[in-house]
Structures are given as structure tokens and as C-alpha cells.
């Protein structure tokens, strides 16, 4: 199989979506498939002229015998190539979640993204969605025939079971780029109500994608009087991230929307109980025994759930055991690469 993945630069960006793309590309290449990665310059998904020019150049560079695979974050840059997408008949979309669902985007921009996606998505030969929730949304909101969508959820690696902090303080870990969609502001408000409990939170995520929002989170922590308990550590990967996982007593994310929730899967894989909001697919992996799931945007109920988990160490221990058992049922990357190859070939 020969394919070309088109994705906004840089391909080594730290996020769940890019992490998925990298693992799939590496897995396909290991299996003997030819996969070329084309990185688009410019601003995405609210595209500028540079992004649109890069999309046109990428399109022209792909020979007819190579199957184009367009990451959903890059798809709006192809506005204007509508007929070309249809005529080729082999273009595949890789959709983590529609860009028009991004929180914090002005209504006019979101509407424009929705119009572009509603126009372009039906022109693709098929779509690979990274969760059933995303697949259902594509059918409902974009009128895509369900038979044209294949679902290939992310895989997980084997990981050691988290030991926890081992101390009286409940160490909470949250992972997500500092953008409005991740709901870090709601999580901070939920935790600020728990001034009588002993907790600390480490928030892992880049501040570069939305520096203004990232600065507002730091200011909010100060306003709420919890600066000494909140640690923004930026992007953390590899062994340093594994150290944070091992020390975590609890994982929490107040996301407004997740196409899948890779960080939640990683928590369960390590036996870390979770407290999350149910935006998109965020709560789908969490069982009643392994964590708590609150309605998206409801930081009051999230605060109540966190109070119970932070206060009751025995409950956390029981949930950690259940989380570990759930985590061991999650699919491997090897399995999911094979599923992806079949979807791409079809």
C-alpha cells in the first residue's frame, strides 16, 4: 500500500491527535507499507493564504498511484479543491473530531469551519474516525453515510502500574494542551472549592497554541488563591512523563470535547482512577468502578466528585484496582495499526 498523510506542521507536535498519527505511520511503515508524511505550513484549521497554498502544493505533489490521507486538522486548507477531492475518488479523511467543535473559537469562525467540513467531508472516498462517538457525529451533523466510515480507536502501550504518591497529599495529574476545549479553567474552579483538603495538581500541556488562554489560566489560579497548589509544567514526554504518571493518585480532565481521550486511556492503563467530564467520547472508557464522569461544563458536580475521591483514600484504592483491570482490556497499537491498514486499503 502507498499513502501520503497530509497534516499541519509540525508533525512532532505533542497532542493526542498527532501522537495517534505518528504511531499509525510508524506502525504502517514497520509493516512494510509506504507512507509519506507531508507537513503543511501556515495556520490551521482557521487557514491563512500560506496554508491554502501549501495544501495546493501538497495535492499536486501526490502521484495518482498514492492514496491521499488528510488529517482533519488540515482539511479546511483544501477548501477550493472540492471537485479535485471528488474526482480523485481515493482520498481518505482521518478525523479525530471535526474542527468546528473546537471550544473558544468565535461563532463566525466555527460556522465557517462547519460549512467547509460539511462541503468537503462528503467528497472523500472514505473516512477513518478515531472513536465511535466521532463516527456518529459525522453521520448526524455532516450527513455522511455510516458505511463510508471506519472506526479505528487509538492503541495503548504496555505500561507499569502507577504506585501513587505514597503521601498524605493527593497528587492529581491532568494532561491536555492549554486551549479552551480542554476545560482546565473549569477544573481549577472545581478544585478551588476544596480548600480544606490536601491536594496538588500538575497540568501537562503546551501553552504555545493559545498563549492568551494559557496566561488566563495562570491568572485564574492566582485569583482563586490556589497558585501554590497548581503546577503548569508545559509539554512533558518520555521518561519525565512516566515519572508523573507513577506519582499520580488521580487523573482529572474537565474537557468540553474529546474525539477519544487518549490521556484517559493512559490513566486507566496504569491503574490511575479518573474524574472527567463527558464531552464527546471522554467518558466512554470509564466504568462506574474505575472513576467518575460528570456532565461537560458542570464544574460544581466535578468538584463534589473530586472531594469524595481526594478525601476517601480507600475509595481511590478500590477505583485504582478497577482502573487497572479496565486498562488491561484496551487494544494495543499493533492491533490498531492492522485495523487502520485494513480501513485504508478498503
pLDDT at 316: 96
Same CATH fold, 170-327 and 2-155+332-345? yes
Query: E-assigned strands of the chain?
Result: 2-8, 34-40, 67-71, 92-95, 126-129, 149-151, 170-175, 199-204, 230-234, 250-253, 274-277, 291-294
User: Which residues are CB-neighbours of 342 under 8 A, at least 6 positions away?
Assistant: none
pLDDT at 85: 96
pLDDT at 346: 76
Cα gap 53→42, rounded to integer Å: 9
User: Cα dihedral sign for 151, 275, 101, 35?
Assistant: negative
CATH superfamily, domain at 2-155+332-345: Glycogen Phosphorylase B; (3.40.50.2000)
Domain positions in the chain are 2-155+332-345, 170-327
CATH superfamily, domain at 170-327: Glycogen Phosphorylase B; (3.40.50.2000)
Tell me which residues of the chain have a pLDDT lower than 50.
none
pLDDT at 74: 98
Reported as a single tens digit per residue, the pLDDT across 308-319 is: 999 999 999 999
Cα gap 96→138, rounded to integer Å: 11
pLDDT at 15: 87
Reported as a single tens digit per residue, the pLDDT across 25-36 is: 999 999 999 999
Amino acid at each position: 500500500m502507498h499513502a501520503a498523510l497530509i497534516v499541519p506542521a509540525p508533525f512532532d507536535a505533542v497532542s493526542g491527535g498527532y501522537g495517534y498519527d505518528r504511531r499509525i505511520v510508524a506502525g504502517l511503515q514497520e509493516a512494510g507499507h509506504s507512507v509519506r508524511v507531508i507537513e503543511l505550513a501556515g495556520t490551521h484549521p482557521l487557514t491563512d493564504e500560506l496554508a491554502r497554498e501549501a495544501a495546493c502544493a501538497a495535492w499536486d505533489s501526490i502521484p495518482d498511484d498514492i492514496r491521499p490521507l488528510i488529517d482533519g486538522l488540515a482539511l479546511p486548507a483544501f477548501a477550493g479543491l472540492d471537485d479535485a477531492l471528488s474526482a480523485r475518488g481515493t482520498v481518505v479523511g482521518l478525523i479525530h473530531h471535526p474542527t468546528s467543535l473546537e471550544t473558544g473559537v468565535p461563532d463566525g469562525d466555527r460556522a465557517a469551519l462547519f460549512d467547509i467540513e460539511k462541503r468537503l467531508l462528503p467528497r472523500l472516498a472514505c473516512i477513518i474516525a478515531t472513536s465511535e462517538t466521532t463516527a456518529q457525529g459525522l453521520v448526524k451533523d455532516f450527513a455522511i453515510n455510516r458505511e463510508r466510515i471506519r472506526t479505528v480507536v487509538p492503541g495503548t502501550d504496555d505500561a507499569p502500574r502507577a504506585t501513587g504518591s505514597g503521601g498524605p497529599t493527593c497528587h492529581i495529574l491532568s494532561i491536555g494542551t492549554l486551549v479552551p476545549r480542554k476545560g482546565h479553567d473549569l477544573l481549577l474552579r472545581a478544585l478551588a472549592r476544596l480548600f480544606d483538603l490536601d491536594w496538588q495538581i500538575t497540568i501537562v500541556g503546551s501553552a504555545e497554541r493559545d498563549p492568551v488562554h494559557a496566561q488566563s489560566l495562570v491568572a485564574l489560579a492566582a485569583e482563586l488563591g490556589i497558585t501554590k497548589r497548581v503546577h503548569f509544567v508545559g509539554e512533558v514526554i518520555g521518561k519525565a512523563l512516566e515519572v508523573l504518571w507513577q506519582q499520580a493518585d488521580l487523573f482529572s480532565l474537565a474537557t468540553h470535547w474529546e474525539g477519544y481521550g487518549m490521556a484517559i486511556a493512559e490513566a486507566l492503563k496504569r491503574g490511575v482512577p479518573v474524574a472527567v467530564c463527558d464531552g464527546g467520547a471522554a467518558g466512554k472508557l470509564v466504568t462506574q468502578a474505575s472513576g467518575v464522569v460528570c456532565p461537560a461544563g458542570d464544574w460544581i458536580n466535578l468538584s463534589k466528585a473530586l472531594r469524595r475521591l481526594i478525601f476517601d483514600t480507600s475509595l481511590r484504592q478500590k477505583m485504582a484496582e478497577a482502573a487497572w483491570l479496565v486498562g488491561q482490556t484496551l487494544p494495543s497499537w499493533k492491533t490498531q495499526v492492522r485495523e487502520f491498514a485494513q480501513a485504508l486499503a478498503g
